[in-house]
């Protein structure tokens, strides 16, 4: 009788499973651990590993694929991101400096709006190098289990530096002061971030048996 209402297909599948002897082998014949002593030893080993390696360290390796247990991929990734940020910042800065006029014309800007856009393109884009550094540092610190440090890097750029500096420089120099503040905030956050990440990375790789280059 189909008590559970699973249908004839489910009953036929259950009958086929029961009629196949290889599907009902004992744990010993399936290659599983059949000795209670072996099971207890295995569990004891896992317990010792759990006590000797905090969960944060395990997550750090899993998320960052990094050097706590000898994997050095994060350092290479950081260096690649730094190089990309350098190339991108220089390229976009040069492009907007040379062809910014054509870009603003595509949007139909005229008069004061056009002049303001061109001014921003001549002051801020080169600081995208440092902004890329800060974004790399932010992601790397999160991967290394330092989310608070990553938060401070972000806050140093927006709240601690840009907001007060934009107000001050706008009072002194007008609109260009706001653009100078944006570029300065990117540079300061990038510089602080690179230094902070270097310190954290060295601490994370201090006990690593594999020789690693500094990030």
DSSP letters, the chain, are: --SS---HHHHHHHHHHHH-GGGG--TTTTT----HHHHHHHHHHHHHHHHHS-HHHHHHHHHH--GGGT--HHHHHHHHHHHHHHHHHHHHHHHHHHHHHHHHHHTT--HHHHHHHHHHHHHSGGGHHHHHHHHHHHHHHHHTT-HHHHHHHHHIIIIIIIHHHHHHHHHHHTHHHHHHHHHHHHHHHHHHHHHHHHHHHHHHTTT-SS-----
In a domain, 213, yes or no: no
Question: pLDDT tens-digit profile of 95-134?
Answer: 999 999 999 999 888 889 999 999 999 999 999 999 999 9
> Is 82 found in the same domain as 48?
no
Integer Cα distance of 101 and 117 in angstroms: 9
Predicted local distance difference test score (pLDDT) of residue 11:
53
> Is 40 found in the same domain as 107?
no
> Is 140 found in the same domain as 79?
yes
The count of domains in the chain is: 2
Query: Residue 30 has which token pair?
Result: 């399936």
Residue with tokens 């750029």: 157
Integer Cα distance of 200 and 142 in angstroms: 11
* Segments forming the whole domain that contains residue 19: 8-52
Cα angle: 116, vertex 117, 122; to 5 degrees: 95
Whole-Å CA distances, 88 to 74, 83, 84, 130, 143? 21, 9, 6, 11, 23
Residue 205 banded pLDDT, cuts 50, 70, 90: confident
Predicted local distance difference test score (pLDDT) of residue 18:
52
pLDDT tops 80 at residue 24: no
Top pLDDT among 62 and 214 is at 214
In a domain, 181, yes or no: yes
In a domain, 214, yes or no: no
> Is 70 found in the same domain as 27?
no
Predicted local distance difference test score (pLDDT) of residue 98:
92
> Is 86 found in the same domain as 176?
yes
Residue 2 banded pLDDT, cuts 50, 70, 90: very low
> Is 122 found in the same domain as 191?
yes
Residue 213 banded pLDDT, cuts 50, 70, 90: low
Residues 8-27: what's their mean pLDDT? 50
Query: Residue 49 has which token pair?
Result: 């590993």
Question: pLDDT tens-digit profile of 148-201?
Answer: 999 999 888 889 899 999 999 999 999 999 999 999 999 999 999 999 999 988
> Is 97 found in the same domain as 21?
no
Residue with tokens 């062809």: 99
């Amino acid at each position: 009788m189909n008590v559970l209402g699973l249908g004839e297909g489910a009953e036929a599948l259950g009958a086929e499973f029961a009629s196949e002897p290889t599907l009902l082998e004992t744990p010993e014949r399936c290659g599983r651990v059949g000795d209670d002593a072996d099971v207890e030893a295995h569990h004891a080993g896992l317990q010792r590993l759990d006590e000797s390696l905090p969960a944060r360290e395990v997550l750090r390796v899993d998320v960052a694929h990094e050097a706590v247990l000898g994997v050095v991929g994060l350092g290479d990734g950081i260096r690649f991101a730094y190089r990309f940020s350098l190339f991108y910042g220089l390229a976009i800065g040069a492009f907007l400096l040379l062809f910014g006029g054509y870009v603003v014309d595509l949007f139909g800007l005229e008069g004061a709006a056009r002049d303001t856009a061109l001014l921003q393109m001549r002051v801020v884009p080169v600081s995208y190098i440092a902004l890329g550094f800060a974004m790399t540092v932010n992601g790397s610190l999160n991967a290394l289990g330092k989310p608070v440090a990553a938060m401070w890097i972000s806050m140093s750029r927006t709240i601690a530096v840009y907001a007060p500096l934009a107000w001050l420089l706008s009072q002194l120099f007008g609109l260009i002061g706001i653009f100078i503040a944006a570029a300065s905030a990117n540079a300061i956050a990038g510089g602080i971030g690179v230094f902070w990440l270097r310190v954290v990375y060295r601490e994370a790789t201090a006990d690593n048996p594999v020789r690693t280059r500094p990030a």
